Amino acid sequence: MNVSNFIVPIFVLFILIYGFKKKVNIYDSFLVGAKDGLLTIFRIAPAVIAMVFATNIFLNSHFLEFIFSYFTPILNAFNIPINVLPMALVRPISGTASLAIMSNIFEVYGPDSFVGRLASNLQGCTDTTIYVLALYFGSIKVTKTKHALSAGLFADAVGIIAAFLITFIFFG
Amino acid sequence: MVSVIWLFFIAVGSLFMIATGNIELLNEEILKGGAGGIKLLTEMLPLLVLWTGIMQIAEDSNLLDLFAKFVRPVLSKLFPSLPKDHPALGYIASNIAANALGLGSAATPFGLKAMECLQKDNPQKDTATEAMVTFLVLNTGGVTIVPTTVIALRLMYQSANPSEIILTSILATLCSNVSGLLFDYYKRRKKK
């Protein structure tokens, strides 16, 4: 039994009952909003397809693995398994890819190993910056994004370093 | 800016695949590459439609306003350029709340709606407003309080204590978010 399993159903029921009590025509409201969502999907479709296309080429070329092979000696000196680094770098690009690497780390080293805990914290500390940027700005056709990317990547970098240090301090 | 990232991914990926003799794989990626995006969209579609429907009820019954009022003191400090009763604040708050609970996929519809609200008041439609950038920074930082997916996976791989990483995750996410917001704050100050 997980407490978080109750959050979504309670949230939905509360909105429906509250709306009904406030004499909102909840069914009609739902249809209006759902249509809105359908239009949103069409609006974001080009950005999503474009971004998934590009990230797939990049990730499947295994370019990252090639770069990391040069870092192996340094990482070994600090006792950090090589798998964690790709995960840290993939995290801002693709949520599913970093989840896949994390599952792999859990399978090989176990979730309670140092690497397993480090991977858990890496997954939690940030989100898929580049994907979110492309999706959110793409949906409203904003092309000049000011310092959004640099700020997002800066936050990611700090988060990744923080995850390393915190895992060392708490579980090292 | 997005163009640069897009080109970087495609060019580096393609050239590296050619260099390593994976030209067949590259052809396959290019010819079938659109399918991945469509798959993601079809996974998003039912959820997005359902949530925007339910959230419309919350909007029509003024529940969203009520929620926004509750978190307004904090949010208006983060978004000084928005008037205190701006409709986007309710969606921004819902997005952050959903993200905080680790319900990433539920957060996306709120985030998209928030961007739409912000775009309505944007005088230059192709340029991001200050509020948009701050919202994106907050969003890409991923304000996770309960990383539900990670805990579920740890449980699946028989962790003795799946939730032991909650506190450390919160600390890491705090570092990331605070630094992102400071970066954004500093950039905004510099321009004035």
Sequential DSSP letters for B62-93: THHHHHHHHHHHHHHHH-TTS-TT-THHHHHH
**How many residues would you count in chain B?**
192
How wide is the angle at C-alpha A70 spanned by C-alphas A67 and A73, nearest 5°? Answer: 145
Residue A137 Cα to chain centre, angstroms: 17
What pLDDT is stored for residue A138 in this prediction? Answer: 85
As to burial, measured by CB atoms within 10 angstroms (0-12 exposed, 13-18 middle, 19+ buried), residue B3 is: exposed
Q: Using CA atoms, how far apart are residues B173 and A160, in angstroms rounded to an integer?
A: 9
Which token pair is A20? 């009904």
Name residues 28-67 of chain B within 8 A of A (Cβ). 29-30, 33-34, 36-38, 40-41, 44-45, 48-63
Tell me the three state secondary structure of residue A93.
Answer: coil
Q: Does B95 touch chain A (CB under 8 A)?
A: no
Percent of chain A's residues with pLDDT above 70: 93
pLDDT at A69: 79
Mean pLDDT of B57-72: 80
**Beta bridge partner(s), residue A144:** B127
Flag whether pLDDT at B131 surpasses 90.
yes
Cβ <8 Å between A135 and B112: yes
* Residue-level pLDDT at B1: 62
Q: What mean pLDDT comes out for the span A146-165? A: 90
The residue ranges of every structural domain in chain A are 44-171
Q: H helices then E strands: how many in chain B? A: 9, 0
| Confidence label for A117 from pLDDT (cuts 50, 70 and 90) | very high
Query: Is 0.90 topped by the overall pTM?
Result: no
Q: Determine the 3-state secondary structure of B127 from DSSP.
A: strand
Of the pLDDT bands very low, low, confident and very high (cuts 50, 70, 90), residue B161 is confident
| Chain A residues inside the 8 Å CB shell of B158 | 110-111
Q: Confirm or reject contact between A52 and chain B (CB < 8 A).
A: yes
Provide the pLDDT for residue A28: 95
Range name among A25-39, A157-171, B93-107 with the lowest pLDDT average: B93-107
Q: Quote the crossing angle between the two packed helices B2-19 and A129-139, to the nearest 10°.
A: 130
Spatial contact of A25 and B57, defined as CB atoms under 8 Å apart: no
Reported as a pLDDT band with limits 50, 70 and 90, residue B37 is confident
Of B142, B133, B134, B135, give the one whose Cα is nearest residue B177.
B142
Nearest to B58 by CA among B109, B122, B124: B109
The residue to which tokens 């896949």 are assigned = A100
Burial B156-167 (b: 16+ CB within 10 A, else e): ebebeebebbbe
**CB atoms closer than 10 angstroms to residue B91:** 26
Give the minimum alpha-carbon distance from A76 to chain B in angstroms, rounded to a whole number.
24
Q: Which of the four pLDDT bands, split at 50, 70 and 90, describes residue A2?
A: low
Min mean pLDDT across A55-64, A70-79, A118-127, B119-128 is at A70-79
For the stretch B162-190, pLDDT in tens is: 888 888 988 998 999 999 999 999 988 88
Name the pLDDT band for A88 (thresholds 50, 70, 90).
confident
Higher-confidence residue of B34 and A126: namely B34
Contacts 24+ apart (CB under 8 A), B147-152: B147/A120, B147/A123, B147/A124, B147/B102, B148/A4, B148/B101, B148/B102, B148/B103, B149/A99, B149/A123, B149/B102, B149/B104, B150/A102, B150/A120, B150/A123, B150/A124, B150/B102, B151/B102
The pLDDT tens digits of the residues spanning B133-160 come to: 999 998 877 677 767 778 878 888 888 8
> Distance (Å, rounded) from C-alpha B62 to C-alpha A62?
50
pLDDT at residue number B51: 81
> In whole numbers, what is the pLDDT of chain B averaged over residues?
85
State how far the Cα of A159 lies from the Cα of B171, in Å rounded to an integer: 9
Please give the Cα distance from A103 to B89 (Å, whole number): 36
Digit-coded pLDDT (tens) for A7-20: 778 888 999 999 99
Nearest CA-CA distance, residue B87 and chain A, Å: 15
Q: Which of A140-144, A152-156, B36-40, B68-72 has the lowest mean pLDDT?
A: B68-72
Picking from A15, A41, A142, the nearest residue to B48 by CB comes out as A41
| CA pair distance A140, A33, nearest whole angstrom | 18
Give the whole-angstrom CA distance, residue A133 versus residue B5. Answer: 11
Beta bridge partners of B6: none
Is pLDDT of A1 > 60?
Answer: no
A117 contacts on B by Cβ (under 8 Å): 164-165, 168
